[in-house]
Amino acid sequence: MFFFLIPSVWAAEKQGISIFIAYTGIKPILETFTQDTGIKVDYLEMSSGEVLTRIRAAKGKAQADAWFGGGLDSFVAAAEEGFLEAYVSPEREAYDPMFYNEEGFWSGISLGSVVLMGNPEVLAAKKLMMPESWEDLTLPVLKNEVLMSTPAVSGTFYSMVSSILQTMGDEKGWELLERIDANVPYYSKRGAEPANKVSIGEAGVAVAPFDTVLRLRQEGHKLEMTFPKDGVPWYIAPVAVFKGAQNPEGAKALVDWVLSERGQETLAKCTTQAPIRPGITLEPEVQAMRDSNLMKLDVVKAGHARKEILELWQEKFGHK
């Protein structure tokens, strides 16, 4: 769907909103939102790092009404830089405080995770075993067979890096990432690209978002997937209202809806992330993700450390 800024007259009538999106399965979700509220949505799919870069380039001038999904670290940075509007939804009362910003700058809507994915045909042809841990990704036999994205533009992969660093400590965490890097030919600039390429046989293994792997399986690709036994990185997909939005009331209506029981049930039906609101029934594979060995992660700390971590990442791996 093409993206454009909504004219002020249209926005004033609350007939539509424009949003930035980084969320799998978004089309049926937004269609249900429109059916329930009458509010039309135009959206642009863009990684959270790209959204933050775009807002900074515009010196904070709103480029859309709302922001749906992506890496929480970028939302934390955007809030601190004054790009987001504080909004406390009445639906927030149902949520654990760890999943939202107290001032209302962002609210978590679902949980996702990072997994290891393999193409069984490629692995069999090259006589390689499916990796089961982060340590397995360092094995020399996987030289140039491991695909992953750069955390500079993918919030999902920033969550992976920050989870490893917080769980293992900086020294051991960076040492592990350096050893994995020896097997990575390049870093993609889209979160789903490594999984997509492995699904068509361009490499044997991908570090991939859980929901992307399930989507590819649903499309008919035969893929292996493991939750790393030495810890599963996870992340919160948030929603927020941009400061200076042309249709702030429409954007707030989106926040209310996606946090509501109806909105969360819709997420559960349309996506393979795990809705955060208590009491929502999950599919078995999604429940397995929620029950996996999730790594230690302070999401706010990860957001504050973003600049420092990405600078060091660029220094170590930016040549790829």
Q: pLDDT exceeding 70 applies to what percent of the chain?
A: 96
Q: Do 38 and 90 sit in the same domain of this protein?
A: yes
Q: How many domains in the chain?
A: 2
Same domain, 284 and 308: no
Residues 33 and 178 in one domain: no
| Structural domain contains residue 56 | yes
161 and 271 both lie in a single domain: no
Do residues 102 and 118 both lie within one domain?
Answer: no
Q: Which residues contact 290 (CB under 8 A, 6 or more apart)?
A: 111, 274, 282
Measure Cα distances from 168 to 113, 131, 173, 174 in Å.
Answer: 18, 19, 5, 9
Is the domain of 275 the same as that of 313? no
pTM of this structure: 0.75
Given this model, what pLDDT does residue 7 score? 40
104: left (phi over 0), alpha (psi -120 to 50) or beta: left
**Average pLDDT of every residue of the chain:** 91
Query: pLDDT per residue over 40-64, tens digit each?
Result: 999 999 988 899 999 999 998 989 9
Model confidence pLDDT, tens digit, residues 241-256: 999 999 999 999 999 9
Rounded CA-CA distance 270/262 in Å is: 12
Query: Is the residue at 98 inside a domain?
Result: yes
Q: Is residue 2 situated within a structural domain? A: no
Q: What is the mean pLDDT of residues 299-319?
A: 91
Shared domain check, 117 and 103? no
Q: What percent of the chain has pLDDT over 90?
A: 74
Using an 8 Å Cβ cutoff, are 109 and 275 in contact?
yes
Which amino acid does the sequence have at 184?
V
Name the band, by pLDDT with cuts 50, 70 and 90, for residue 136.
Answer: very high
Q: Is the pLDDT of residue 10 over 80?
A: no
Please check whether residues 127 and 106 belong to one and the same domain: no
Of 33-37, 94-98, 192-196, the one with minimum mean pLDDT is 94-98
d(CA 46, CA 243): 19
What is the SS3 string spanning the chain?
CCCCCCCHHHHHCCCEEEEEECCCCHHHHHHHHHHHHCCEEEEEECCHHHHHHHHHHCCCCCCCCEEECCCHHHHHHHHHCCCEECCCCHHHHHCCHHHECCCCCCEEEEEEEEEEEECHHHHHHCCCCCCCCCHHHHCHHHCCCEEEECCCCCHHHHHHHHHHHHHHCHHHHHHHHHHHHCCCCCEECCCCHHHHHHHCCCCCEEEEEHHHHHHHHHCCCCCEEECCCCCECEEEEEEEEECCCCCHHHHHHHHHHHHCHHHHHHHHHHCCCEECCCCCCCCHHHHHHHCCCECCCCHHHHHHCHHHHHHHHHHHHCCC
Say if 176 falls within a structural domain: yes
Lookup: tokens for 33: 């939102």
Residue 297 pLDDT exceeds 80: yes
Least confident among 8-12, 21-25, 93-97, 285-289: 8-12
Cβ neighbours of residue 83 closer than 8 Å, sequence gap 6 or more: 55, 60, 242, 243
Residue 3 lies in a domain: no
Distance set, CA 245 to CA 63, 239, 299, 320 (Å)? 8, 14, 26, 37
Q: Is the pLDDT of residue 13 over 90?
A: no
d(CA 11, CA 18): 9
Which has the closest alpha carbon to 295: 211, 210, 230? 230
Looking at the structure, do residues 185 and 304 belong to the same domain, yes or no?
A: yes
Structural domain boundaries, residue 228: 113-233+298-317
Q: Is the residue at 127 inside a domain?
A: yes
Query: For residue 3, which phi and psi values (nearest 5 degrees)?
Result: -110, 140
- Check if the beta carbon of residue 89 is closer than 8 Å to that of residue 107: yes
Query: Rounded CA gap, 153 and 49, in Å?
Result: 4
In a domain, 285, yes or no: yes
User: Rounded to an integer, what distance in angstroms lies between the CA atom of residue 294 and that of residue 277?
Assistant: 18
My answer on whether 29 and 51 are in the same domain is: yes
Q: What is the CATH number of the domain that holds 123?
A: 3.40.190.10
Q: What residues contact 13, with CB distance under 8 A and at least 6 apart?
A: none
- Residue 14 pLDDT: 55
Question: Do 310 and 185 belong to one domain?
Answer: yes
Q: Do both 197 and 249 map to the same domain?
A: no
